[in-house]
Amino acid sequence: MDQETIAVPWSVIPDYRCFGCSPHNEGGLRLVFTAHPDGLQARFRLGRSFESYPGVVHGGLTGVICDEVMGNLIVLARHTPAFTVSQRTRFVTPLLVDHEYTCVASLSGSASDALIQGNAEILDASGALCAGSTATYQPFDFRDVRHQLTLDDDEVALLSHALDPESHDRPAMNRPATNGVLP
């Protein structure tokens, strides 16, 4: 049974180019998110264009995938975007080209904490741990970081509306969340 895809708030911008999750970025990962009992997950398979050693996915992409799933969980569960402050990734076994993997992210701490703590694991098709990552994130408001982002006024308004938990046109994002777990 296929799970319902969860729309990320960036999708309100018609041509968003996120390397991790945009369907518009031909060179990107194009991750798609679904709910997981612990938070959020993305299933993926990377081809040779993401290769390092022959047959092995570049290790840096392991951290990117974990960061992407944790960061989008923050946005979906806490209704706020956040910059990565620090991230530590532990590699258990290399990810192989053209193999199925799942990255599962969860959040720890309370919603009132100034910094947000995320955890992610990448599992192979049999459920074995391939990599784990922890990260700390600093929430921000789009209006406060306009000088760092290339968003015009209309895009800031669209994203702010998409992140508003009272908005009724984004049902997948507006479900209540408990401690960073999407119901």
pLDDT at 74: 96
97-125 residue pLDDT tens: 999 999 999 999 887 889 999 999 999 99
Which of 48-52, 145-149, 178-182: highest mean pLDDT? 48-52
Q: Is the dihedral of CA 76, 79, 142, 119 positive or negative?
A: negative
Mapping DSSP onto H, E and C, the string for 117-151 reads EEEEEEEECCCCEEEEEEEEEEECCHHHHCCCCCC
In angstroms, the CA 148 to CA 141 distance is 12
- Does the pLDDT value for residue 16 go beyond 60? yes
Share of the chain above pLDDT 90, in %: 69
In angstroms, the CA 116 to CA 80 distance is 11
> 167, 123, 120, 163: which is closest to 139 by C-alpha?
163
Give the mean pLDDT of the chain.
89
Q: Note if the pTM is more than 0.75.
A: yes
30-47 residue pLDDT tens: 999 999 999 999 999 999
pLDDT at 47: 97
Q: What is the mean pLDDT of residues 132-151?
A: 88
